[in-house]
Chain A
Amino acid sequence: MSASNLPDRRVGGLVPALLLVLALGWLALVIGAPLATVLAEAFSKGMGTFLATFHEPDALAAIRLTLLVAAVAVPLNAAFGLAAAWSIAKFEFRGRSLLLTLIDLPLSLSPVVSGLVWVLLFGARGWFGPWLEGAGIRVIFAVPGIVLGTILVTVPLIARELIPLMAEQGTDEELAATTLGAGGWTVFRRVTLPNVRWALLHGVLLCNARAMGEFGAVSVVSGHIRGLTDTLPLHVEALYNDYDFVGAFAAATLLAGLAVVTLVAKTVLERAMPMAIR
């Protein structure tokens, strides 16, 4: 995959060079500039003010909540993604394409809708709301709702990474393992899972980044109770609305940092992936 058979960039004369400049310029404008602004604003009143943002209890609570949501949503989606990808890629069954479509649905759905459906289901006037109220369980404007909203938005991310790979790998190795005497669980643990571990890790990274950064769906179900139901992205918005620009941008730096770390980790992963698995 490394040495490509593409012609040298210089072969095409001026056109490739122009396209390259255009692409780089566009990236600098729409990604580089905003990122630079975030950093500039965050540090505009010096390091001290920047750090002070993270000493506030509300900010700490937001960070903690964000980590908690990701810690619940990512493993659940990993488990679901594995199960769904396994069944879709390795078996023929009725409703297979329906399942595929459903998995893709959140990608084309506005996150606001992903939040609203939970309000519709579990809100005070939702279908199950009164019943849950009676049982003393709060979903909407509480942590469970935030987790549900995040899960719905991030459902496709891991499954999508796994399905094409598993489909390409086929079932021969699993059949071979079975004829060698391995049981279903052993086959999964020793053959299926190791064969997709890099793709799984890749999916988990993407899912985690999205889970921590999700705004739309979470905003609908959270209720914006500071220190209680504000995740980091919501906290950024709250600070911004309070005209605490340094605070907002400082918190935003954390989120941007997460994106950069994810990207780096992704690149490192792709480099480290052994040839045998690619």
Chain B
Amino acid sequence: MTLTIDGVYKQFGRFPALAGVTLEVRDGEFLALLGPSGSGKTTLLRVLAGLDKPDHGCVWLDGVDFLALSARERRIGLVFQHYALFRHMTAARNIAFGLEVRPRALRPSRAQIAARVEELLSLAQIEGLGGRYPAQLSGGQRQRVAVARALAVEPRLLLLDEPFGALDSKVRKELRGELRRIHDATGVTTILVTHDQEEAMALADRVVLMNHGRIEQIGAPAELDAAPASPFVFTFLGETNRLACEVAAGVARFEGFAAPVICPVQPADGPAVALFRPEDTRLDAGPRAEGLPARVADIRGRGPVRSITCQVLSGQRLVAEIAEAAAERFEIGQRVHVTVRRVVLDAGESGRRGALVEPASPVRLTA
């Protein structure tokens, strides 16, 4: 079951929510649509669910024109941000709904429906809660019911719209693992919409990073980390430090050290602003160490990693993430030398300079 999204364009008023999105979703894949608010990820999900019609572009599911089908006919499982459980029905009735509303000829028998509900309750690990009303369930339990309800119709696609948004962080982490387990158990092609990069990177096989209605980059989490296609991708996926540098032949030169540039398309040689991650930032306290001289200003954090803030001579502050054991060698006020493992160059004022994935098909004016 392959889902092909081809040049999908959708405008709300004068604002293009989807400015030509082309994407192929593989069978059984767990895909995350990641992006800031207004990036078009939710609109794309709504187009797939049949709740919005694109202005132009096509969506095919195994060669069948998906856009010609109504939301009712698509057989997709949609989990809403706030779950949209039927408040006057018990969890079990919620889950059974999709089976009970089938035309008589296709409807399973009462016993079959009851068995399927039990099966889904246990898949979602909420056995025994079938008799409760949504108002009597916790946020996490409601989400499990919503997922079970969506899976009851054996959907061709499972669509999840920010499903963790309404949960506290502990429950969120737990349910993340649950969702992945359910995906692996059922094998259903799953598309998750989220603005939380950590969530997308932790859960998905591939991440589609969107911005301004376009796809910035598609790739496995490790690929996005190793080779960000644009400064936007790099800054969106994690914390960044900024430092002025001089670029020459794919290497960023700083005072006292140099670092390779990992973003594939780079601005011309000359002065630039480098972006780099705290975890790629190294500190050396040795007397003959190389690197940019700086002074330790602050040490924070607990657990295996410490965040050390340093101030360079120009007054700028950089954050380095250092393993706990190594961090013990540093103290506030100490002189250190900073080096960086790898950098991405900021596109600067021109905005999108450096993007590898060019905006997909240009806006077509005819339908």
Contacts and interface: CB of A to CB of B under 8 A. Distances in A.
Contacts of B300: none
B153 interface: yes
B72 A183 contact: yes
Contacts of B3: none
Bin the interface of chain A by size. Answer: 20 to 34
B74 A172 contact: no
A182 interface: yes
A195 B71 contact: no
A192 to B, nearest CB: 10
B86 interface: yes
B102 interface: yes
How many of chain B's residues touch chain A, expressed as a range?
20 to 34
B192 to A, nearest CB: 16
Contacts of B306: none
Q: Interface SS of chain B: helix, strand, loop or mixed?
A: loop
Contact of B86 (A173, A186, A274, A275): A173
Contacts of B75: 181
A177 B87 contact: no
Give the residue among A177, A194, A276 with the most B Cβ atoms within 10 A: A276
In terms of DSSP, what is the predominant structure of the interface of chain A?
helix
A52 interface: no
B43 to A, nearest CB: 15
B219 interface: no
Interface stretch (B26-34, B76-84, B326-334, B351-359): B76-84
A177 B101 contact: yes
A214 to B, nearest CB: 33
Interface in B117-156: 133-136, 149-150, 152-153
Contacts of B87: 173, 195, 276-277
Nearest to B149: A180
A176 B82 CA distance: 11
Residue from B74, B75, B85, B87 whose CB has the most chain A CB atoms within 10 Å? B87
B1 interface: no
A118 B75 CA distance: 52
A52 B275 CA distance: 96
A191 interface: yes
Nearest to B81: A172
Given A182-B101, A191-B86, A274-B133, A176 B72 contact: no
A182 to B, nearest CB: 4
Most buried by B among A175, A197, A274: A175
A178 B134 CA distance: 19
Contacts of B49: 179
A9 interface: no
A96 interface: no
B72 A178 contact: yes
B88 interface: yes
Interface of B: 49-51, 71-78, 80, 82, 84-89, 97-98, 101-102, 133-136, 149-150, 152-153
27 contacts: A172-B84, A173-B84, A173-B85, A175-B71, A176-B85, A176-B149, A178-B72, A179-B49, A179-B50, A179-B72, A180-B97, A180-B101, A180-B150, A181-B101, A181-B102, A183-B101, A186-B101, A190-B86, A190-B97, A191-B86, A194-B86, A194-B88, A194-B89, A275-B135, A276-B87, A276-B135, A277-B88
Given A181-B153, A190-B97, A195-B86, 11 more contacts: A172-B82, A173-B85, A176-B78, A176-B80, A179-B50, A179-B78, A180-B98, A180-B101, A194-B88, A274-B88, A277-B87
Q: Which 7 A-B pairs have the closest CB atoms?
A: A172-B84, A180-B98, A182-B101, A176-B84, A276-B133, A276-B135, A194-B88
